[in-house]
Amino acid sequence: MELSNTFSVSQPIDRAWAVITDLERVAPCLPGAALIGVEGEDFRGAVKIKVGPVTAQYEGVARFAQRDDQAHRAVLRAEGRDVRGQGNAATTIDLRLQSRGAGTEVLIDTELELAGRVAQFGRGVIADVSGKLIGQFAQRLEAEMSREQASVPPATNGVAVASPARPAVEDVEPLDLMSAGGSALAAVMVKQAAPVAGAVLGLLLGWLLGRRSGSGTRDAAAAPLVVHLVLPSRSRTTAPGIDVTRGSNG
């Protein structure tokens, strides 16, 4: 399955590239996401998602296949799976930036491979959900770049200044996919969307988790990504056929 998304920011291309490849600044822009650890070249992240009463958990690994700072292009390979064995997903994400007047256009082409429960969704549903998530990300990214541009950093006299404390995972507001998907998708999402939404969001976070692969075009080591999907307990409105307590089948 191939998906394409495009959004624009008002910053020049070099500044946009510097920000969009700086994980510590970008991760909070992704709804429900938090950076929980940096170990050398590796980044550990978390994503919390809420879809009605359904609970699921995905784990994944992301790695750069290519990164070219001069051409403002990166290719990322990411894989994720449901820890209960109900589905898995793999993706190749091609990220490109292009100058558009005084601003920058961001193009994301995704090749998505789904198996298990996640494969039951049609392309239209997946494209709609991923498009809305990227739209929210773009709005937050624009706000972050505007905020930093408007602020004046204090004089440091050559002394390094510590980065702001990262928000703890438990303090991050979960992404409510019922709202993100819109009322037209609500009925479908209640039944099965947690697995596929977890894959889409986890893999979207994957291309953010390969930031420190160095300059120029090069391969990068795998960066472990832990994706937690935290939702409320089963309610009486749960769609039939959903088992939120079943363990892994292997």
pLDDT confidence bin for 42, thresholds 50/70/90: low
pLDDT tops 70 at residue 30: yes
pLDDT given for residue 140 in this prediction: 86
Quickly list DSSP for the chain: -EEEEEEEESS-HHHHHHHHT-HHHHGGGSTTEEEEEEETTEEEEEE-EEBTTB-EEEEEEEEEEEEETTTTEEEEEEEEEETTSSEEEEEEEEEEEEEETTEEEEEEEEEEEEEEGGGGS-HHHHHHHHHHHHHHHHHHHHHHHHHHHHS-PPP-TT---PPPPPPPGGGSPPEEHHHHH-HHHHHHHHHHHHHHHHHHHHHHHHHHTT--S-SSS-----EEEEEEE--PPP-TTPPTT--SS-----
pLDDT tops 60 at residue 202: no
* 121 vs 17, more confident: 17
Average model confidence (pLDDT) for the chain? 64
**Which of the listed ranges 14-18, 112-116, 238-242 does the model predict with the highest average pLDDT?**
14-18
CA proximity to 202, closest of 54, 33, 41, 67: 33
pLDDT tops 70 at residue 69: yes
pLDDT tops 60 at residue 205: no
Structural domains of the chain, ranges and CATH numbers in brackets:
2-147+169-229 (3.30.530.20)
Percent of the chain residues past pLDDT 70, beyond the cut = 36
- For the four alpha carbons of 140, 141, 144 and 145, in that order, the dihedral sign comes to negative
Task: Find the range with the poorest average confidence among 26-35, 135-144, 223-232.
Answer: 223-232
Percent of the chain residues past pLDDT 90, beyond the cut = 11
* 138 vs 64, more confident: 138
- 80-111 pLDDT per residue, tens: 666 566 666 677 889 899 999 999 999 988 88
The residue type found at 227 is V
Alpha-carbon span 148 to 127, nearest angstrom: 31
Region 162-174: mean pLDDT is 57
* 165 vs 113, more confident: 113
pLDDT given for residue 12 in this prediction: 93
pLDDT given for residue 229 in this prediction: 38
pLDDT tops 80 at residue 223: no
pLDDT given for residue 37 in this prediction: 65
